Amino acid sequence: MANDSTGTDHGTAAPMFMFGTCIKGGILGNNPTINDTVANDEGVAMQYDFRSVYASVLMDWFGLSAAEVKSTLFSDFQKLPVIEGCAPTNTDDYSRDFGLALDVISNPVMHTLKINYHTGDEKIRLSVFDSMGSEIKILVNGRSRAGEHNLSWEWVVYLPGNYFVRIASLYAQKTEHFSKID
């Protein structure tokens, strides 16, 4: 098949597999019927829009509201029975339970990156990553006293673009996005 549409070459429909303890087992949908006179570039009929699968996972597992899903994906999604027996996951609450919080105050950043973070009395690593996932600067690597902390770092030598600041302790981590502009 050619890629004249500048899209993908898998056709208009494809199977989707989901794994995990919260996934409702079984098959959703019917086996496709492929006609004897099918053309070389003809695909099988789509049964479920892949965004409906994403929407169902976001709502039933990650706890998003229908309004949040509609504004993120699309408005006319079909909620599918793919998640079963799981409470919604909220990583912010999990990190907060371990006393870890992170907030980038200056976003976008021109010259100075300003960060507020909260830790327990524990060893932490506070790092900056580029958009490719490479750790480009370690801001803190060691024991931190419990409580609120503020950090300012001159950010003038780095190119404009998207970056991430990450705080990690033994039991939790939190990552925030920021942009560098000229």
Domain boundaries, the chain: 1-87, 91-180
CATH architecture for residues 91-180: Sandwich (2.60)
Can you tell me whether residue 51 is helix, strand or coil?
helix
pTM listed for this prediction:
0.50
**Residue 166: its pLDDT value, please?**
92
- How far is the C-alpha of 84 from the C-alpha of 22, rounded, in Å? 5
- pLDDT tens for each residue of the chain, 182 residues long: 455 555 555 556 778 888 888 888 888 887 777 777 777 776 676 777 888 888 888 888 888 888 888 887 777 778 888 888 877 655 555 445 467 889 998 889 989 999 999 998 999 999 999 888 889 999 999 999 999 999 998 887 889 999 999 998 887 888 899 999 98
Query: How far, CA to CA in Å, does 120 sit from each of 48, 75, 77, 126?
Result: 46, 42, 42, 14
How many other C-beta atoms can be found within 10 angstroms of the C-beta atom of residue 56?
Answer: 22
